[in-house]
């Protein structure tokens, strides 16, 4: 990891001449002008690797900053904000919602910069660049472009496929491409990328063949539903492909599940054995955009942060708490009571009285190891723990206000186990396949839960995914995947979620043995959303439509 981070520190010197400001409102009119294009630059392996290094961080910054959890978790109902980001929480995201525009802009920056990297490497890479590095760098750019399109098509539906931004200078007819075309394009891209990436990362944190094959497992599982055209039956050949690639990654990648789930988010966790692909952030004061800013908005208080800590009204939804085994609702469904053996809860959300010795907490008169406070009388929040690593003193001085160095997971090995299990169930009601159950239990029992006994159903898999990946910006895309082949079920899940205020009381403080969670009686509005055909996909950002009216054209095949 040190070599990789050193490369990023070197790149920070280049940032003043790499502004990354294009590819936003006018992405259809002109190519980005903010990449290294000097013919004298791509002359060594190190320079070529530097040319693609920012594809692991800065180009994703606007999405990662706040939009990732707004779309991935707030819209999905796994987490919420009581007073901010309400458009996303209440499922009425508009063309002017900031996170909508930030995501669109970021994904097309990824596309534009990936396209330019491919062009520049092909055009300028000299004889001093090894063929393996050249091939790998181009594959990195194609991987990032395909992944960006996965996010684009799942959020906005038909979008324009752009492989050459320079060609757009003379093309005034470009329009959106159909969802089927986008999925076909990115699957083909990822298959070719998998053949060009190395089995072992060239540098820590770099993509591998297994990163690409893991994405293929993810792509094929979703594409199986896209091919159904809403019929309810997924394409069996694509389900088989999802199983095939997931199994290959499990058996051949060398990746392994961490023994303790909580270790996934304990500093320093970057590029651990379970990570198949992560965004590579660095603590780089002064180099805005290469750092991880998200913890600033998730940490519940400045008491555990570095002059930021603005997440005091963010936390688990009532519905999310019902997903953890051990919390039982009363007959009127206004109170939950209990505890869970599931270790993922404490690693994801903070409940009153829970302790976190890895984080320092400022208290009147001094400091202590964090004990999450018990506050309020009729409402409080189960704040977010994931990605929150504490004060600078907790991470060897490697953090400051809005500047954190911990990476963002984009794909973990546990997803491969669950993809295999879900693809095995496929169009059936359940499965008794012993291998699928074995793989499911690898994830389930790692969390401290007892062995799950057959039959394994799709609902069981969905619940496991919601709990395993909460606050990792995954839940929304699970619901979109479901929506492709069973939109009524997707709406049913969303419209059954309670997203309102509640009060959580421990039986003792600190170190409670159970909690009682009661809905706030006066907070009767905005508890339930109405997901439907008219608001499920995101509207194209208004600023983009004003600059690129071609986006209003009917989509065509690519």
Helix spans in 66-206 (H): 68-69, 86-89, 98-124, 131-156, 179-196
pLDDT of 165 reads 84
Report the pLDDT averaged over residues 310-316: 98
Report the pLDDT averaged over residues 221-229: 92
Q: What's the CA gap between 462 and 460, in Å, rounded?
A: 6
**Does residue 490 surpass a pLDDT of 90?**
yes
* DSSP secondary structure letters along 376-417: -SS-B---B-TT----GGGGTT-EETTEE---EEEEEHHHHH
Q: What's the CA gap between 20 and 368, in Å, rounded?
A: 41
Task: Please check whether residue 519 is in contact with residue 141, taking contact to mean a CB–CB distance below 8 angstroms.
Answer: no
pLDDT in tens, 358-403: 999 999 999 999 999 999 999 999 999 999 999 999 999 999 999 9
**Does residue 23 surpass a pLDDT of 60?**
no
**Does residue 417 surpass a pLDDT of 70?**
yes
Q: Which residues does 447 contact at the CB level (< 8 Å), separation at least 6?
A: 261, 342, 343, 344, 467, 468
Task: Please check whether residue 112 is in contact with residue 23, taking contact to mean a CB–CB distance below 8 angstroms.
Answer: yes
Q: Confidence class of residue 348 from pLDDT cuts 50, 70 and 90?
A: very high
Using CA of residue 255, residue 259, residue 265, residue 270, what is the dihedral sign? negative
pLDDT in tens, 237-269: 999 999 999 999 999 999 999 999 999 999 999
Q: What's the CA gap between 279 and 190, in Å, rounded?
A: 18
**Does residue 9 surpass a pLDDT of 80?**
no
Task: Please check whether residue 244 is in contact with residue 414, taking contact to mean a CB–CB distance below 8 angstroms.
Answer: no
DSSP symbol at 532: -
When mean pLDDT is compared across 41-50, 72-81, 182-191, 458-467, the lowest value belongs to 41-50
Report the pLDDT averaged over residues 275-283: 97
Q: Would you call 335 helix, strand, or coil by DSSP?
A: strand
Task: Please check whether residue 103 is in contact with residue 63, taking contact to mean a CB–CB distance below 8 angstroms.
Answer: yes
pLDDT in tens, 62-97: 999 999 999 999 999 999 999 999 999 999 999 999
Residue 63, Ramachandran bin (φ over 0: left; ψ between -120 and 50: alpha; else beta): alpha
The HSE-up count of residue 364 (CA atoms within 13 Å, CB side) is 0
Q: Which residues does 52 contact at the CB level (< 8 Å), separation at least 6?
A: 117, 121, 137, 140, 141
Tokens of 81: 């904000």
Taking residue 493's Cβ as centre, other Cβ atoms within 10 Å add up to: 21
**Does residue 461 surpass a pLDDT of 80?**
yes
The HSE-up count of residue 264 (CA atoms within 13 Å, CB side) is 31
Q: What's the CA gap between 114 and 158, in Å, rounded?
A: 20
Task: Please check whether residue 500 is in contact with residue 536, taking contact to mean a CB–CB distance below 8 angstroms.
Answer: no
Task: Please check whether residue 126 is in contact with residue 39, taking contact to mean a CB–CB distance below 8 angstroms.
Answer: no
Select from 523, 527, 528, 518 the least CA-distant residue to 329.
518
Percent share of the chain, pLDDT over 70? 92
pLDDT of 409 reads 98
Partners of 278 in the β-ladder: 409
Task: Please check whether residue 519 is in contact with residue 511, taking contact to mean a CB–CB distance below 8 angstroms.
Answer: no
Biggest alpha carbon distance in the chain?
A: 73
Q: What angle do CA 356, 80, 149 make, to 5 degrees?
A: 105
When mean pLDDT is compared across 20-24, 62-66, 326-330, 509-513, the lowest value belongs to 20-24
pLDDT of 98 reads 97
Tokens of 14: 């280049």
**Does residue 517 surpass a pLDDT of 50?**
yes
**Does residue 5 surpass a pLDDT of 50?**
no
Using CA of residue 160, residue 163, residue 166, residue 172, what is the dihedral sign? negative
Instruction: Tell me the average pLDDT of the chain.
Output: 92
Task: Please check whether residue 526 is in contact with residue 497, taking contact to mean a CB–CB distance below 8 angstroms.
Answer: no
pLDDT in tens, 168-185: 655 556 789 999 999 999
Residue whose pair of structure tokens reads 């070197």 in the numeric block: 10
- The pTM (predicted TM-score) of the whole model is 0.93
Taking residue 137's Cβ as centre, other Cβ atoms within 10 Å add up to: 28
Report the pLDDT averaged over residues 428-440: 96
Partners of 356 in the β-ladder: 370
Q: What's the CA gap between 553 and 534, in Å, rounded?
A: 18
- Between 471 and 170, the more confident residue is 471
Long-range CB contacts (within 8 A, 24+) of 400-403: 400/283, 400/285, 400/306, 400/307, 401/296, 401/305, 401/306, 401/307, 401/308, 402/291, 402/293, 402/296, 402/308, 403/283, 403/284, 403/285, 403/291, 403/293, 403/306
Partners of 457 in the β-ladder: 430
Domains of the chain by range and CATH? 2-18+28-196+541-552 (1.25.40.390)
Q: Confidence class of residue 32 from pLDDT cuts 50, 70 and 90?
A: very low
**Does residue 468 surpass a pLDDT of 70?**
yes
Select from 502, 467, 515, 499 the least CA-distant residue to 352.
515
Select from 72, 74, 44 the least CA-distant residue to 499.
74
pLDDT in tens, 148-207: 999 999 999 999 999 988 766 555 567 899 999 999 999 999 999 999 999 999 999 999
**Does residue 142 surpass a pLDDT of 70?**
yes
Q: Which residues does 488 contact at the CB level (< 8 Å), separation at least 6?
A: none
């Amino acid at each position: 990891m040190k070599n990789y981070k050193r490369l990023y520190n070197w790149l920070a010197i280049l940032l003043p001449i790499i502004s990354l400001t294009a590819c936003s409102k006018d992405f259809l009119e002109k190519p980005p002008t903010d990449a290294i294009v000097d013919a004298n630059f791509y002359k060594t392996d190190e320079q070529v690797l530097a040319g693609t290094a920012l594809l692991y961080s800065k180009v994703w910054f606007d999405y990662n900053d706040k939009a990732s959890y707004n779309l991935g978790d707030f819209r999905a109902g796994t987490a919420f904000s009581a007073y901010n980001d309400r458009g996303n929480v209440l499922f009425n995201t508009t063309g002017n919602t900031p996170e909508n525009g930030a995501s669109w802009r970021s994904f097309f920056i990824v596309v534009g910069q990936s396209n330019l990297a491919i062009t520049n490497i092909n055009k300028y890479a000299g004889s001093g660049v090894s063929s393996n590095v050249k091939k790998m760098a181009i594959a990195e750019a194609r991987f990032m472009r395909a992944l960006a399109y996965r996010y684009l098509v799942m959020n906005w539906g038909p979008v324009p496929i752009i492989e050459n931004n320079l060609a757009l200078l003379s093309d005034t007819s470009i329009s959106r491409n159909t969802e089927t075309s986008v999925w076909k394009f990115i699957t083909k891209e990822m298959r070719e990328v998998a053949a060009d990436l190395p089995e072992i990362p060239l540098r820590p944190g770099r993509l591998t063949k297994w990163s690409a094959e893991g994405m293929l497992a993810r792509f094929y599982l979703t594409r199986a539903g896209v091919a159904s055209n809403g019929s309810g039956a997924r394409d069996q050949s694509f389900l088989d492909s999802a199983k095939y690639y997931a199994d290959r990654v499990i058996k051949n990648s060398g990746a392994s599940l961490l023994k303790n789930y909580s270790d996934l988010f304990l500093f320093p966790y970057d590029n651990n054995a379970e990570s198949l692909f992560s965004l590579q952030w660095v603590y780089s004061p002064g180099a805005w955009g290469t750092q991880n800013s998200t913890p600033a908005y998730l940490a519940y208080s400045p008491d555990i942060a570095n002059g930021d800590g603005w997440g005091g009204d963010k936390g688990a939804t009532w519905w999310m708490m019902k997903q953890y085994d051990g919390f039982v609702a009363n007959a009127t469904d206004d109170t939950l009571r209990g505890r869970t053996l599931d270790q993922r809860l404490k690693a994801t959300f903070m409940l009153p009285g829970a302790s976190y010795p890895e984080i320092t907490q400022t208290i009147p008169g001094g400091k202590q190891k964090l004990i999450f406070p018990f506050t309020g009388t009729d409402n409080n929040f189960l704040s977010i723990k994931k990605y929150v690593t504490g004060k600078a003193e907790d991470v060897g001085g490697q953090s400051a206000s809005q500047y954190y160095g911990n990476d963002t997971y984009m794909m973990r090995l546990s997803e491969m186990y669950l993809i295999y299990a879900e693809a095995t169930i496929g169009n059936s009601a359940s499965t008794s396949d012993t291998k699928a159950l074995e793989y499911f239990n690898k994830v389930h029992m790692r969390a401290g839960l007892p062995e799950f006994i057959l039959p394994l159903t799709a609902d069981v898999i969905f619940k496991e995914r919601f709990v395993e990946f909460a606050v990792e910006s995954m839940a929304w895309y699970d619901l979109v995947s479901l929506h492709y082949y069973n939109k009524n079920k997707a709406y049913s899940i969303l419209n059954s979620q309670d997203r309102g205020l509640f009060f959580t009381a421990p039986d003792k403080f600190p170190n409670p043995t159970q909690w009682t969670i009661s809905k706030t009686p006066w907070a009767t509005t905005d508890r339930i959303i109405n997901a439907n055909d008219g608001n499920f996909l995101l509207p194209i950002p208004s600023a983009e439509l004003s600059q690129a009216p071609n986006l209003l054209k009917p989509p065509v095949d690519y």
